[in-house]
A and B are shown apart, each in its own frame.
Chain A
Amino acid sequence: MASANPEIIHRALEKGAVTAVRYRFMERLLLVGAGVFGLLSLVTEGRLLLGLCLALLSVSAYRSIKHSRLLTAALTGLGSLFTAYVLLSFVDAVDNPAQGFWFQVIASWLLAWMCVEQLAAIKTLSRIYATALNILIPVLFGVWLLILWELLTRGFNVPQVLLPAPSLIAERFVESPHILWADFQQTFLKAVLIGYALGCGAGFIIAILIDRSPFLQRGLLPIGNLVSALPIVGVAPIMVMWFGFDWPSKAAVVIIMTFFPMLVNTVAGLSAAGAMQHDLMKTYAAGYWQSLFKLRLPEALPFIFNALKINSTLAMIGAIVAEFFGTPTVGMGFRISTEVGRMNVDMVWAEIAVAAVAGSLFYGAIALTERVFTFWHPSNRS
């Protein structure tokens, strides 16, 4: 029946027959699965309302695909979120959640997957709509990851030492802002930012200096490339010995870790401009500095930002690992290693959440700056 539909054939030709057929199959599989598990929970547990809801929902979603993917996505997405909410509210009420409970979890999870599957299949030409979708899809995925984590840890009574539920971590996060802020200040605002600025700055300046000498370039680049692959975090104990327990030793580790990627990338970027462009600058009678600032540095920006992005992660790692070798009694690495010893795993996770947020924001800020400065680059003009 479907194969006779000219609209479907047209679309199949458009995006490759294989993809179109597989999508239909996937959709059916997910919805049938959700429906079956909804019914199963109805049979085993007698959860009349939820089970029936899930089954009905999947049937209606199945009918609605032909009309609108957005409608299906909204139906399945809202349905799955609602059931997740209900499930979360009585996961503690049941001592040992029975089969029916887990059937419902699976059913609502399949519905959520279906929702993502639908959203991802929407083809649109509108910029805003596409951006909204590209944000909404990963957010949904992340939310569902948290929901499953919460349900699994509480449903199976996973010992808190192994893996605390997200709600417990959030509670701990809200309870101890002072400790977290002090650690953040010590590790991120002092060690990471200062070390990062000095390391990247030094790498950049040295790169510009050796750029004038092809001899140094040929000598330093292979060594720089080699050093970039080495386990540089290993210098942490040495730096702690040299510069003491406080943040300067951590900043020193960060400087060493960030220096070489910056050096190598900047040197590579400075030679990115083509011969034609150099010739053009020559016909303008541009001096060394003019062609450096007007041609070669802008051309090198994508490389430099690449190094800045790599370094943002390296800097966090360097600062935190260096704290394992000795710190004053404050700092993210210190907190993590001592709280692990005390089996306060929820505090460790709260600290990790801080590190994750700080790391992502740091990276995001650099990526945003990159878009502002390299708007002309082909990768940003799609």
Chain B
Amino acid sequence: MNKSSFFPVMLVAFAIIVVWYSFTVVMNLPWEKSVAERSGTTPSTMTMIRNTLQQERPVLPAPHQVVTEVINTTFKKKVTSKRSLVYHAGITLSSSMLGFFMGTVLGIVLAVAIVYNEALNKSLMPWIIASQTIPILAIAPMIIVVLNAIGVQGLLPKAFISMYLSFFPVVVGMVKGLNSPDRSYLDLMRTYHASAAQTFFKLRLPTSLPYLFTSMKIAVATSLVGAIVAELPTGAVAGLGARLLAGSYYGQTIQIWSALVVASIIAATLVMLVGIIGDWVNRRMGLAQSTPSGAH
């Protein structure tokens, strides 16, 4: 975000909050009306509107309710407590990070194999692309249950789903990146009589880094989605996904929204972190100008 867009972004964000509040009033008003009807009182419209913003289980919680809930469950609870969002976020984050790491490594290895072997490029690449048209999250519950049946529990099954989701952008971006050096650079390496390993480490790998970081930004976001969805079928034990599921069972809308907000904050932070690391690495390697915009 540059300076010129700061003001517009703030204004749009403000507009969103205003719209949110008005929706809160509109969507929660029927409930207030029915409460008033049952108790036989006729409160003024202003009172009812004020009440819509502080219901116990609103249809749509007001922003300040969500913020209060997030603050209550993050800063005012012990980190180890089952009611602390930090605890749940930590569980989700650890499995998504493990999955992201495995996915990135797998993606890079596959990309190198694909770039160096024409047969793999022609046979495997179409399937890798096809694999993403499959709604893989659909088999998340099965992977969890099946791995559970053979005794694999805890982080690994969830990390596996994160890995599946995050390896794809890395493969595609890395293949593009490893193939990005100019023909003339490759020729230059040949005139130096560089070995295949030298060409890889001194030419192909450095030029592929900007692509790698761009795709890692996508991968880190999807790995978090994978971890959250993977927690849904485990029977709501712990994690942000479990909070979502428990909230939907008991109609705790504020809990759902606060879990969502925390998940969003984590996702945004992760994407930003990868972006910052990527920028730093690119600058160190003198590649700052050639950062591709979207290696997808």
- Expressed in whole angstroms, the Cα–Cα distance for A221 and B12 within the complex equals 10
Closest to B241 in A: A234
11 further A-B pairs in the complex, CB-CB below 8 A; given A18-B196, A161-B146, A325-B232: A121-B118, A140-B123, A142-B127, A218-B8, A218-B9, A230-B264, A233-B229, A238-B257, A306-B296, A313-B132, A360-B133
Interchain CB contact under 8 A, A218 and B4 = yes
Interface residue ranges of A216-245 to B (CB < 8 Å): 216, 218-223, 226, 229-231, 233-238, 240-242
- A336 sits at the interface (CB 8 A): yes
Write the A324-351 contact mask toward B (1 if CB under 8 angstroms, else 0).
1110000011001100110001001001
Size of the B side of the interface (Cβ < 8 Å), in residues, is 63
> Chain B interface (Cβ within 8 Å of chain A)?
1, 4-5, 8-9, 11-13, 16, 59, 117-119, 121-124, 126-127, 130, 132-139, 141-142, 145-146, 149-150, 186, 190, 196, 217-218, 221, 224-225, 228-229, 232-233, 240, 244-245, 247-248, 251, 253, 256-257, 259-260, 263-264, 267-268, 271, 296
Closest to B121 in A: A120
Minimum CB–CB distance for B65 against chain A, Å: 14
Interchain CB contact under 8 A, B59 and A241 = yes
- A317 sits at the interface (CB 8 A): yes
A316 surroundings in chain B (CB, below 8 A): 135, 138
- Expressed in whole angstroms, the Cα–Cα distance for A120 and B260 within the complex equals 47
Interchain CB contact under 8 A, A340 and B4 = no
Selected contact of A162 from candidates B124, B150, B244, CB within 8 Å: B150
A237 surroundings in chain B (CB, below 8 A): 244-245, 247-248, 256
A-B contact pairs, 13 of them (CB 8 A): A120-B122, A133-B122, A162-B146, A218-B9, A223-B16, A229-B267, A234-B240, A241-B248, A324-B232, A336-B138, A336-B142, A345-B146, A362-B133
Interchain CB contact under 8 A, B119 and A241 = no
Minimum CB–CB distance for B167 against chain A, Å: 15
Selected contact of B135 from candidates A18, A236, A313, A341, CB within 8 Å: A313
Selected contact of B124 from candidates A141, A233, A333, CB within 8 Å: A141
Selected contact of A332 from candidates B130, B138, B146, B247, CB within 8 Å: B138
Interchain CB contact under 8 A, A356 and B134 = yes
- A55 sits at the interface (CB 8 A): no
Minimum CB–CB distance for B59 against chain A, Å: 7
Closest to A117 in B: B119
Minimum CB–CB distance for A219 against chain B, Å: 3
- Expressed in whole angstroms, the Cα–Cα distance for A356 and B134 within the complex equals 5
Interchain CB contact under 8 A, B137 and A321 = yes
- A215 sits at the interface (CB 8 A): yes
- A137 sits at the interface (CB 8 A): yes
- Expressed in whole angstroms, the Cα–Cα distance for A231 and B92 within the complex equals 12
Closest to B118 in A: A120
Interchain CB contact under 8 A, B263 and A234 = yes
| 9 interchain residue pairs of minimum CB distance | A219-B8, A237-B248, A219-B12, A141-B123, A316-B135, A120-B119, A138-B126, A218-B5, A363-B133
Interchain CB contact under 8 A, B134 and A238 = no
Selected contact of B127 from candidates A26, A116, A138, CB within 8 Å: A138
Interchain CB contact under 8 A, B233 and A337 = yes
Interchain CB contact under 8 A, B134 and A360 = yes
Residues A352 and B134 in contact in the complex (CB < 8 Å), given A116-B119, A138-B126: yes
Selected contact of B256 from candidates A140, A238, A340, CB within 8 Å: A238
